[in-house]
A = this chain, B = another copy of it.
């Protein structure tokens, strides 16, 4: 029938157009079939060995950061995260230590030979950040801040781009393209939960986004289990799912004393909990990282 014919033409043209666009995007796996591996101070992300990234939500003091860094190092983890510039819903919430926070992170990174990751929220702070951090994080609230994406795209610093609060996967991919289109290919994507009607969790971890992003792009894909769930009791199960589905790294928040944390106290692990988290993941054989055998 005529209708059937049209349907066939329709499908063919749709696929053609889709393929066409995917080919032109620099982030697309069609353009670049091999996995991109990002080298972060000699730790490789996207090389097939899954990594853990951990650290406090906010940098609060040198002592706090060094305590966490030491704990990570003892478990063979070399990627330390911590927030110095905090985008907060209210202007009256703790906004982070700023440059002071970056200095503390750098000190910890130097002392324990770890790579440090921290969010930058203004184009004007990027040049400064280059001296202090090993990975610039672009947070969920800034995924659509294209001016910021263009700026980090003009550096060669590794970038960790989080999915926006309610960004589609397609929008996320195009945000990534903003970075690559300016020349910086050291980009990692991070699923961190999306906003839905469900209130049992802070956000809804869109676990399927991980294999989709791996298929559609050649970039490493991470899972932030802390912000996606917002619940300490779900960090371990969510990490298991993310590792099983193929995330290149899992990110979680650790604080020496979560009860007094200046932000997100309900969702950070303390150091004992973190140690158990690492041990359980390694024993389950879900996390097959470098240190797995050495330090369960």
Contacts and interface: CB of A to CB of B under 8 A. Distances in A.
B229 A208 contact: yes
B196 A212 contact: no
A198 B207 contact: no
Nearest to A168: B198
A175 to B, nearest CB: 8
Contacts of A16: 3, 6
The A interface is mostly helix, strand or loop, or mixed, namely helix
Contact of A245 (B24, B165, B237): B237
Contact of A168 (B150, B197, B238): B197
A192 to B, nearest CB: 13
Interface centre among A208, A233, A284 (most CB of B within 10 A): A208
A141 B20 CA distance: 27
Given A141-B145, A177-B91, A212 B234 contact: yes
A: contact size bracket: 35 or more
A200 B146 CA distance: 23
Nearest to A198: B168
Given A141-B146, A211-B237, 17 more contacts: A3-B16, A9-B13, A10-B17, A91-B177, A123-B124, A142-B144, A168-B200, A194-B197, A196-B196, A196-B197, A197-B197, A204-B206, A237-B246, A238-B245, A240-B245, A241-B244, A244-B284
Interface of A: 3, 6-7, 9-10, 12-14, 16-17, 20, 24, 87-92, 121-124, 141-142, 144-147, 150, 164-166, 168-171, 174, 177-178, 181, 194-201, 204-212, 215, 228-229, 233-234, 237-238, 240-246, 284-286
